[in-house]
Amino acid sequence: MNFSDKKLLFFFPENPFSKRAGNVLRCYTNLMQLKSLGLSIDLVGVEDYYKSFGDSFENMAPEIIDNVFVLKTNPPKKKLTFEYWKYKFLKKYGEKNPNQYLTHFLKDNFRTVLAQKKYDYIVINYEYWTDLIRGQDLKGAKTIIDTHDWITLNEFYNNATIDLGKKFGEEINNLSFYDKVITISQDEYFIFKSLLGEKVINIPPSFPENFDDTSQQKKYDLIFVGSDNPFNVLSIQWFVEKVLPLLSEKIRICIIGRICKHVPDHPNIEKLFFADDLKTYYHASKIAICPMLKGTGIKIKVVEALSFGLPVVGTEKAIDGFLDKKNNGCLVSDDEKEFADIIKNLLNNPSDYEKQKQEAIHFFKNNFSEEKSIELWKNSLTF
């Protein structure tokens, strides 16, 4: 099918070109792959998100994006205007949405975007933004939801007292609104497909192959890349407090990302709050770690590490969403002593290290190639 005459509206609240975290990097990759199909793409974001992360509104990759709309959640605070009092009234007395950013003002602004042209496809990221398009005149556009995560389980991790039945019912109700439902995790694919049928498609995250066949000297023994979301914070604290004391005093560790704000100074740890190009650091590292204790879905950082042919040492959560739980380039344990022992064995036994490296390369090629991902996106757009 030729998509060169097709228009797609892509909603993601953050700036997908900041690439600050796994979810953002996934959106960037999706946009690149959708553009490769020939689509004309408009991007919609939320100003509050851009400002909270200090993101720029400018230079939004014109080679990928045709038009950018960064929408406000509230009108200007001019108390003498009808618009101000209208939305103040709706905020106080109108129907409330669990998503605090999905205001009546934002939805009306989104309606203005929809009115400007006819889109063939509308992609929404995260099911809790569904009311952005529910009740709108979509002019026949096909709707696609990229779930990212199993939101009910994510919220349960943050608040164990939530009404699971009610929340999951709301999530399934939102997903059922769409023509296509995209998952990235094999586990979530099974759950959602069981309830929603053939509209559910699994598109795992993908990266270009960056396997390093050179024998260059490695500067770091371990590398961890992560944002400062609560799950990453809990994970790196567990590693530093429980695992690091069990490792060699000469171990060299590189930690990259906003997670560095939560990592104590340590003689064995080099912290980089931002790296424009991660290739240099992955190629300079022997092993990637993913000590996740909570969270849902495939861990983008694990797939990214596999794309460099790096063995991964993680907890059981590190391989969430994988089709194969064994022979995938990852060695896992939730016990701190076993976690440390796995690392020590890989660093001290070249043959075991090479075996894990080849497993990582093989598993990545079979499951996370760019070519496979693009083909899956093409299938998801063919109605």
Domain boundaries, the chain: 7-206+370-381, 220-368
Q: What fold does the segment set 7-206+370-381 form as a domain?
A: Rossmann fold (3.40.50)
The residue type of 312 is V
Evaluate if pTM is beyond 0.75.
Answer: yes
Helix (H) / strand (E) containing 253: strand 253-256
Residue 199, pLDDT score:
96
Residue 71, pLDDT score:
93
Taking the alpha carbons at both ends of the chain, their separation in whole angstroms is 10
Beta strand 312-314 with 330-332: parallel, antiparallel or unpaired? parallel
What phi and psi, each to the nearest 5 degrees, are found at residue 88?
-65, -40
Residue 164, pLDDT score:
84
pLDDT values of the chain reduced to their tens digit, one per residue, 383 residues: 779 899 999 999 999 998 777 788 899 999 999 999 999 999 999 998 898 888 877 767 889 999 999 999 887 776 556 666 666 665 666 677 777 888 888 998 999 999 999 999 999 999 999 999 999 999 999 999 999 888 887 777 777 788 888 888 899 999 999 999 999 988 899 999 999 999 999 999 998 888 876 656 799 999 999 988 888 999 999 999 999 999 999 999 999 999 999 999 999 999 999 887 888 999 999 999 999 998 777 888 999 999 999 999 999 999 988 888 888 999 999 999 999 999 999 999 999 999 999 999 999 999 998 998 999 999 899 87
Please state which architecture CATH assigns to domain 220-368: 3-Layer(aba) Sandwich (3.40)
| Neighbouring C-beta atoms of residue 77, cutoff 10 Å | 8
DSSP string, 44-65: EEEHHHHHHTT--SS---TTT-
Q: Are 7-206+370-381 and 220-368 the same fold in CATH?
A: yes
- Angle subtended at Cα 306 by Cα 30 and Cα 246, rounded to the nearest 5 degrees: 130
- Residue 255: name the closest of 220, 224, 292 by CA: 224
> Are 324 and 334 contacting, i.e. CB atoms less than 8 angstroms apart?
no
